[in-house]
Structure 1
């Protein structure tokens, strides 16, 4: 999964809010043209919490069909362990290769409970599990040692960006444990994460502008600091500033950018809302600027 950007595709909806499987299939084909390191359907960017089980089955099975074994498919699962297992079994039947365990719903939990949650999920599925730590889920070094000992758990995806804490986790883990940079706009911190032993990262930008994401990843792999800094200054930092204007923009702004490129993704589902006219105009200018930086068609 370090050989390419980790792709977290959007989920396509019709204007009335219904799932649009045909549009989703076409969108996935566009995403896979840049050969991502893996595909993570029905995760945060894919609005996992807005999908019912039948829709989830369609989203994951379509991703499996479109990838045709070319890339690992890691499906999102979540809520409490019992509901997460229901989704895990659907993902298994659909042919997913692994599952990303999204943070549980609502509650803050003690470390023993976080470990037990993963132990129960792992005991009920054949899928390898990636544990997503963000929001109310944050593992201690001791908890991570116990999690690493659970058969089937292959590593964590970090969204906290606490590099001191993350370094302690990487030192506590077995050498073959997989760590992933899951910061909201991971390119901003890609070099910092790599410095503490976490080179693999997900890219929200890949969901709407894989050309920009691939250009940054190529520069990152080549340690081309000048190129990375030019992309950060010219596109990524302004994008983060725009994303931070309103709650939910980590998904709805990404989806709006995809629509600006005529990608068939449709609107977001409530409780998310689509950007207003002013933010949309700023997004269009920034997107054009980013595409110009990498010499891509608008």
Structure 2
């Protein structure tokens, strides 16, 4: 078992203020089998950039495509590579029964906390959303961060109930509804953690910060920590000209490219990592790798972004 709940909360809060949150990619061979050595090299490179925390086997890490043995390997490798330097928050999800199975594996592997991804398929009432977390929390000692996205969206009243669950320490938001999010932050108790989990979160980082949610996850960090780090530093320093140039010349075009094909939010990230020689391999079905034309556009955009921060492809 990893750190106690209060320590995890504190270390995550401190990490969120100090650096980008890393969501590493899961490495596969060309035949689709897991590549543990490739993942070990990738996560070690991510950790070398001093992220605020590392979140293996989450959405960017294709949690939905992993079996339990693969998940165990991914979390175990991450914990060993992190070696206590930063918190390790593993993904879990589906219904609470399956989420519990993954939670037990994460606990055995030494993870410090869990990011609870949206449950599978069905729409549910608020009572059910709260019960989902209650059922999981009753079956794992690990601290939990709820993730509202897709069919999961909490009301302020539900969030108050969620925050009373002893080992639920925070909420990651992927809806980008700032009116709702402001109401949630006001409803939460002091010390409850909030994360900006929007796709390509840098695009909305300034807006999220205005409602009290400055911390964000960065998919760009998985392939260009130089760009992600430069943006984070400029944002925190109030260097608006740098922020806006990166947004205008890199992040907005990246979102436009991402929106061409469903699933590109992960596929493009992996493709960009491969362009930089990272051993991450292809995506697994139902995702597909970018077309040759989109890959060429990605290469040009990546070159532009790296030039902006003085790095090279």
Give the TM-score, by structure 1 length. 0.99
Alpha-carbon deviations, 1:39-74, whole Å to 9, x = none?
000000000010000000000000000011111100
Alpha-carbon deviations, 1:109-164, whole Å to 9, x = none?
00000000000101110110000000000000000000000010001000000000
Deviation of 1:175 after TM superposition, in Å, equals 1.4
Tell me, in whole angstroms, the C-alpha distance in 2 between the residues paired with 1:69 and 1:32.
11
Query: Residue 25 of structure 1: which of 40, 43, 52 is its match?
Result: 40
1:283 aligned partner: 298
Q: How does 1:105-124 map to 2 (within 5 A)?
A: 105-124=120-139
Alpha-carbon deviations, 1:53-106, whole Å to 9, x = none?
000000000000001111110000000000000000000000000000000000
Deviation of 1:221 after TM superposition, in Å, equals 1.2
4+ aligned runs moved over 3 Å, structure 1 = none
Query: Residue 286 of structure 2: which of 252, 255, 271 is its match?
Result: 271
Over the aligned positions, Cα root-mean-square deviation in angstroms equals 0.5
1:227 aligned partner: 242
Q: How does 1:125-204 map to 2 (within 5 A)?
A: 125-204=140-219
Deviation of 1:29 after TM superposition, in Å, equals 1.2
Tell me, in whole angstroms, the C-alpha distance in 2 between the residues paired with 1:193 and 1:71.
24
2:272 aligned partner: 257
1:90 maps to 2:105 = yes
Alpha-carbon deviations, 1:213-256, whole Å to 9, x = none?
00000001111111100100110000000000000000001000
Tell me, in whole angstroms, the C-alpha distance in 2 between the residues paired with 1:120 and 1:39.
25
Q: The residue matched to 2:299 in structure 1 has which SS?
A: helix
Tell me, in whole angstroms, the C-alpha distance in 2 between the residues paired with 1:223 and 1:80.
42
Deviation of 1:199 after TM superposition, in Å, equals 0.8
Q: The residue matched to 1:104 in structure 2 has which SS?
A: coil
1:6 maps to 2:29 = no
Q: Which runs of 5+ in 2 are unaligned?
A: 1-14
Q: Which runs of 5+ in 1 are unaligned?
A: none
Q: The residue matched to 1:179 in structure 2 has which SS?
A: strand
* Count of residue pairs brought into register by the alignment: 298
Give the TM-score, by structure 2 length. 0.95
Query: Residue 76 of structure 2: which of 45, 61, 83 is its match?
Result: 61
Q: The residue matched to 2:261 in structure 1 has which SS?
A: coil
Q: The residue matched to 1:187 in structure 2 has which SS?
A: helix
Deviation of 1:34 after TM superposition, in Å, equals 1.1
